[in-house]
Structure 1
Amino acid sequence: MSKVKKMITAPRFAPSEARAATGARRFVRLDTPFRMHRGGVLPRLDIAYETWGELDAQGGNAVLLFTGLSPSAHAASSPEDPASGWWEEMVGPGRPIDTRRWFVICVNSMGSCFGTTGPASIDPRSGQPYRLNFPVLTVEDIAAAGREVVRHLGIRKLHSVIGPSLGGMTALAFCTMFPEMSYGLVAISSAARSTSFAIALRSLQREIIRSDPAWLKGEYATEHPPLVGMRLARKLGMITYRSAEEWDQRFGRERAGGEHDAGDQFGVDFEVESYLEHHAQKFVGQFDPNCYLYLSRAMDLFDVAEHSGCVATELSKPGIERALVIGVETDFLFPLHEQEQLAECLERPGREVEFVGLPSLQGHDSFLVDMDGFRPVIARYFDRS
């Protein structure tokens, strides 16, 4: 791996007020006020989504996919958009979620910067970006926006709702808020509520971004975002997404090639530093900082037990008939014991619940990279349907 030069690139994220359907991306627009879960109203809501496969005559083969924090709705390639998606090896013809059989809908999260209304979108009341005037965002809001897409497509009941990480939280919220709208649930590397450890890590990431002088209390121009803050927050994020075992096996103490910049004795010495720098540089121009802050905070605020005070009470309510919970042994951001507890809370008479703990080496990011581990589990769930 070659040494990465310390150069911060210009932002490449597109302003999310662009609403024309391009390639595979489509939009649902709600022109009536959308009331947020914790207060505040959006005068208008645009929701970006993509689909694969065909809806059957009964409308019973629909699968709703929610994303993690940073991906767009582009989960897989299609004739309309041949670029590889973030779950390319999972969604498509002959893949575990086989689009010859299933009609897959992937929704871009509310609060994101990839088409769905969020802090980077234009507030129609002012003609300026919402920025920090965007209302408090919750996982429940993301789930409610997903429901609007399902209704727009004329689907009365989904076969399954599925999501990893933040997407798993959103899938849980969806099934507790709209319990009769899905037959099944697949929650991957997720939780019914965030632990204090995960909250602490995300809090530090947000503080890093807000401490960048270029953040300007959220009032930065699109072309001049807080790149240093985003770069450092992304590095911390990458450390939490993988495992110490993987770092050791993959990089060890291998040295990076090249020399330090003149006068910089604390530059990149090791390959693991080079790896982090590469991914940080790749991320800073692709995601809006305020959107990152809002989505990160939404994960912290989420708690299935918010309404009744008990996770088990909420998750054992009638509704879904099948549930699959997948965790990873090396995931310290969403530990395996949380997945076991989640599966236990989902149990109720007449409901089939399966828990799978995978020995993947790649930590929280395993659902993106350990396809040999995840493909058989996901395929078995859908093959048995």
Structure 2
Amino acid sequence: MTEFIPPGTQFFALPSPFAMKRGGALHGARMAYETWGTLNAARDNAILILTGLSPDAHAASSEANPEPGWWDAMVGPDKPIDTNRWFVVCTNSLGSCKGSTGPASLNPDTGERYRLAFPELSIEDGANAAFEVVKGLGIERLACLIGNSMGGMVALAYLALHPGSARTHINISGATRALPFSIAIRSLQREAIRLDPQWDHGNYNDETHYPEAGMRMARKLGVITYRSALEWDGRFGRVRLDSDRREDEEPFGLEFEVESYLEGHARRFVRRFDPNCYLYLSRSMDWFDLAEHGNGTVETALGRIRVERALAIGVQTDILFPLQQQEEIAHGLGAAGASAGFLPLPSPQGHDAFLVDIARFGPAVRDFLSAA
């Protein structure tokens, strides 16, 4: 089991013990984060970015790490999230393997990796951990809280648990709860990992005993849902692999370009993300229900969130976090008194559009922040 920590990562020590929603506590835990720009004297120009399941805190290049970040086209000088104006913070999710404490981290009580001894992880735990980082940086109120995908869930929990902690909010392809289709897909992903004999109830290692087949299948299932049928058709069609790229000696081996793409994507992912961390983070999304913070209804929970302005952005081709979920967020925040907008974008790239379709997402985010 390995943690994958980018150069330039900074660390914040969480309060110890750090209580977890579903029971148990972490001792000596930490959060990984990076920052860009300068915090002004009033400490009121801070933006926090909360990520999806797999990204690290390296959202953009920096002096400490000049490698492009996962949102490099969005964050930086004169970019939509303009670091000439904003002090930007991006945290790695609690439970991840990219620097924040998670199942791949050492348990200080035993000196061994947590593995499945890590406490049950909730979206709310991630929200509270991110809140501690912001508070530790001396920021009482964020200028804007931005959450992408799973980070959109974490952002809603953050705002529900810490009223008044942000002036504005951008929720990108997020949701107040997981829908049955999303739960079903993630359940299959977890099953693929758990049924790999090399997983061995979480007791694998990176060298000789690693659930590579399970992780490959989990990643392929994920990638299929991150994009849309429209993109698959336009990008690959029914193009077959050249004969020298086919696995002729393998019965039912790869034959189409789309199969080769998924295989390459999966192989780049395995051994770059810890399987147990994947299981924990995946399940935390299925468990999340903002209604728990509103006497059993999402409407009440959203009505208790107090932000001045909000924007919920979705993608028409997103099958994992469909448009009605972002529309629900905008409607609920608007009913609570926020100036809230809902922006459905016609990107063909599905759930992953916010990572690649900068031509559509960039202007929307820039315009919202310019009005702040």
Which TM-score tier does this pair reach, normalised by the shorter chain?
A: over 0.9
Mapped contact 2:104–2:115 kept (Cα < 8 A):
yes
* CA apart distance, 1:151: 1.1
1:312 counterpart (292, 299, 306): 299
Q: Is the aligned partner of 1:286 residue 2:272?
A: yes
SS at match of 2:198: helix
Q: Is the aligned partner of 1:371 residue 2:358?
A: yes
Question: What residue is the counterpart of 1:207 in the other structure?
Answer: 191
Number of positions where the alignment pairs a residue of Structure 1 with one of Structure 2: 369
Question: What residue is the counterpart of 1:297 in the other structure?
Answer: 283
Question: What residue is the counterpart of 2:25 in the other structure?
Answer: 41
Which residues of 2 match residues 113-128 of structure 1 at below 5 A?
A: 113-128=97-112
Give me the whole-angstrom Cα distance separating, in 2, the residues matched to 1:14 and 1:177: 32
* CA apart distance, 1:260: 3.3
Mapped contact 1:65–1:162 kept (Cα < 8 A):
yes
Mapped contact 1:14–1:114 kept (Cα < 8 A):
no
Mapped contact 2:147–2:153 kept (Cα < 8 A):
yes
Letter in 1 for 2:311: L
Mapped contact 1:107–1:146 kept (Cα < 8 A):
yes
After superposition, give the CA deviation of every residue in 1:83-103 in whole Å (9 maximum; x if it has no partner): 010000000001000000000
Mapped contact 1:175–1:185 kept (Cα < 8 A):
no
| Root-mean-square deviation over aligned CA pairs | 1.3
SS at match of 1:72: coil
Distance change >3 Å, CA 209–CA 318, structure 1 → 2: closer
Letter in 2 for 1:337: Q
SS at match of 1:115: coil
Mapped contact 2:305–2:333 kept (Cα < 8 A):
no
Q: Is the aligned partner of 1:239 residue 2:224?
A: yes
Give me the whole-angstrom Cα distance separating, in 1, the residues matched to 2:252 and 2:297: 49
Question: What residue is the counterpart of 1:135 in the other structure?
Answer: 119
1:322 counterpart (306, 309, 321): 309
Question: What residue is the counterpart of 2:324 in the other structure?
Answer: 337
Question: What residue is the counterpart of 2:214 in the other structure?
Answer: 229
Letter in 2 for 1:348: A
Question: What residue is the counterpart of 1:192 in the other structure?
Answer: 176
Q: Is the aligned partner of 1:97 residue 2:85?
A: no
Letter in 2 for 1:248: D
After superposition, give the CA deviation of every residue in 1:42-63 in whole Å (9 maximum; x if it has no partner): 1121110000000000000000
Mapped contact 2:159–2:305 kept (Cα < 8 A):
no
Give me the whole-angstrom Cα distance separating, in 1, the residues matched to 2:117 and 2:192: 21
Mapped contact 1:24–1:51 kept (Cα < 8 A):
no
* CA apart distance, 1:342: 1.7
Question: Under a length normalisation based on structure 1, what TM-score does the superposition of the two structures give?
Answer: 0.93
* CA apart distance, 1:262: 4.9
Give me the whole-angstrom Cα distance separating, in 2, the residues matched to 1:285 and 1:44: 26
Which residues of 2 match residues 5-20 of structure 1 at below 5 A?
A: 14-15=2-3
Question: What residue is the counterpart of 1:161 in the other structure?
Answer: 145
SS at match of 1:214: coil
* CA apart distance, 1:340: 1.1
Give me the whole-angstrom Cα distance separating, in 2, the residues matched to 1:114 and 1:255: 37
Between 1:306-315 and 1:62-71, the stretch displaced more is 306-315
Q: Is the aligned partner of 1:250 residue 2:235?
A: yes
Question: What residue is the counterpart of 2:92 in the other structure?
Answer: 108
Question: What residue is the counterpart of 1:360 in the other structure?
Answer: 347
Question: What residue is the counterpart of 1:182 in the other structure?
Answer: 166
After superposition, give the CA deviation of every residue in 1:167-190 in whole Å (9 maximum; x if it has no partner): 111111101111111101111111
Question: Under a length normalisation based on structure 2, what TM-score does the superposition of the two structures give?
Answer: 0.97
Mapped contact 1:50–1:105 kept (Cα < 8 A):
yes
Give me the whole-angstrom Cα distance separating, in 2, the residues matched to 1:48 and 1:318: 27
Mapped contact 1:120–1:290 kept (Cα < 8 A):
yes
Question: What residue is the counterpart of 2:12 in the other structure?
Answer: 28
* CA apart distance, 1:256: 1.4
Mapped contact 1:28–1:48 kept (Cα < 8 A):
yes
* CA apart distance, 1:204: 0.4
Give me the whole-angstrom Cα distance separating, in 2, the residues matched to 1:309 and 1:268: 48
After superposition, give the CA deviation of every residue in 1:2-60 in whole Å (9 maximum; x if it has no partner): xxxxxxxxxxx8437x8xxx742110113520100111111121110000000000000
Mapped contact 2:38–2:87 kept (Cα < 8 A):
yes
SS at match of 1:175: helix
Using the aligned pairs only, state the percent identity. Answer: 54
Distance change >3 Å, CA 263–CA 363, structure 1 → 2: same
Give me the whole-angstrom Cα distance separating, in 1, the residues matched to 2:345 and 2:305: 28
